[in-house]
Amino acid sequence: MPGNLRKKGATGKTEADYLRARRRVLRESQICAYPPCRKAIDLNLKPICQFVDTSLFTVETAHLIPLTCGDDCRKLKHARKSNPWGPSANHKVPVSSLPPDSPLLASAKNLEPMHLKCNKDLGDGGVTPRHKTSRDWFA
């Protein structure tokens, strides 16, 4: 989630607005918007242990990914991570190209449903960062 959505000040959008828009987009369509994928998104996938290898699983077998890495996983209190084939929302206009107080950051019109893995593969579309340094500090 973009860091500038977590601000709770008077300006900008809140994290709750983004999550509400994300839920709305995922409710409207559960088909991944990533062109090479275009497969169904399972909204019921649960978080898994951070040490579980998911590289051998596909969209069709995502429900078979084990939730724990072994018998001692719960006892060792391993951190959880989202299932890579779980739901995510991609910003059509990349967050890196929007100003911090843009209404598009948390607008459902700027979001499209995607698998988390597809969203990570897509990235920000090659957009350069919006905050450039004013001079070369290492020259």
Q: Are residues 8 and 37 in the same domain?
A: yes
Q: Are residues 9 and 37 in the same domain?
A: yes
Q: Which pLDDT band holds residue 128 (cuts at 50, 70, 90)?
A: low
Q: Are residues 2 and 38 in the same domain?
A: yes
Q: Can you give the pTM of this predicted structure?
A: 0.77
What is the DSSP code string of 2-14? -GGGS--SSSS--
Q: Are residues 66 and 96 in the same domain?
A: no
What domain range is 22 assigned to?
1-43+86-124
Q: Are residues 39 and 1 in the same domain?
A: yes
| Alpha-carbon torsion, ordered 60, 61, 67, 70, to 10 deg | -170
- Model confidence pLDDT, tens digit, residues 77-126: 999 999 999 999 999 998 888 888 888 988 999 999 999 999 999 987 66
Q: Are residues 80 and 93 in the same domain?
A: no
Whether 14 maps to a domain, the answer reads: yes
